[in-house]
Structure 1
Amino acid sequence: MNNLINGFRIPTYEKGQDPKEWLDMYETGVKVAKIPEAGKLTMIPGFFSSSTARRWFFNQEFTDWATFQEEFMDRFSARKGSPKKILKKLLDIKRQPEESIRMYIDRFDALKAAHLRETKKNPNCTTLTSSDLKDAFINGLQPRFLKEAILQANPGTLKDAKRLAKAKEDNESSDEEESQSSDEEDFPTEKIRQWHKLVPKPKAITLTSKTL
């Protein structure tokens, strides 16, 4: 079953489906449909096919996407990841080609929260310092020039690194919009120039007593 949003179909979550796979499809869908970040979480219940999943969602009273993402995967995953696997995923995380910075941050935060939960359950789990988390986040940034730009800025904290990465993405989006706007403004002018070249110039008429 699919839900139609702004002309784009997003599949509903079915019982037994891989929650990570569905979340990836959902996030891609809301991005293509240009749904604001704030609306991403509030629409979730409408994409659950079972009343059990909807009831679970409303009972949690989620206020942010990262927490929902973590709890959703923990609740509906067929197999829970071991502490070592979670740690490895966190340290080896890489931003995907079509993944926005905000989506990458959400995925990073979900893994960070899952790792923190495991360390609270088991004191023997490997713990990460704030510096370790910052380094893991920066190391996972793609493309390479973005990672190098953040490294050169030398952010002091993970929060600073996230802020710089988001600002870099916002600046690039703004530059693209300005470039497109400039192209659109130049297009009519160029068309007019081409039209003038094609239209024959009127012949000069010399007035004489016969033409009057």
Structure 2
Amino acid sequence: MAEPASRSTEALGPQRLRQLLHHVPGLTAADIDALVSRWQRPVQLRRGDFLIQPGQTDHYLYFIDEGVLRIFLPTQHEEICVGFGYASTLICSFPSFVEGRPSSYSIQTLKASRLLAITRADLLELVESRPNIGRFWRAEMERAVVGRIEREIDLLLPEPQRRLDRLRARSPHLFQLVPRKYIASYLRMTPETLSRLR
């Protein structure tokens, strides 16, 4: 379960978020101040904790300050890994966050993680009231759509080696952050197949 962040770590997340936003073209200092001020819910998770589970509705978008998480679809026979989150990226159960419906997915930490959250209502208010933030959010959505299309292409390829090669080219850092069994699940192959190919 989520625990409140300790006082000593609370300031780190907004500071890192602010540093990243300074590199976003088109955002003014006032835009950055407005955006950072809304990320007011710190979340501290231990390894193995769940950020969200099926049936819960995700009302927050999270900035990962520190840690690694996996997004997976639990089925009767297996847990199908569909994505990962790591430091300086955003994460949520996206269909639940956008449509306000219960999540089908679980999000679980692979190591102790520290996050900041913004509510959907606060994010949408900023997107509507500040054109630069609106453009930033649309660019993030476009990037997410491109990522989903690349993922679908991966899954359509019948050759495990090609799926692995595409992931290595696109996200080589995952192999340093994520245990092999979850990468294998993400690539829809057995851990043994992944070990043989590597």
Shorter-normalised TM range: under 0.3
* TM-score normalised by structure 2 residue count: 0.27
Between 1 and 2, higher relative CO (CA 8 Å, sep ≥ 6) is seen in: 2
Structure with greater helix percent: 1
* TM-score normalised by structure 1 residue count: 0.26
> Which of these two proteins has the greater Rg computed from alpha carbons?
1
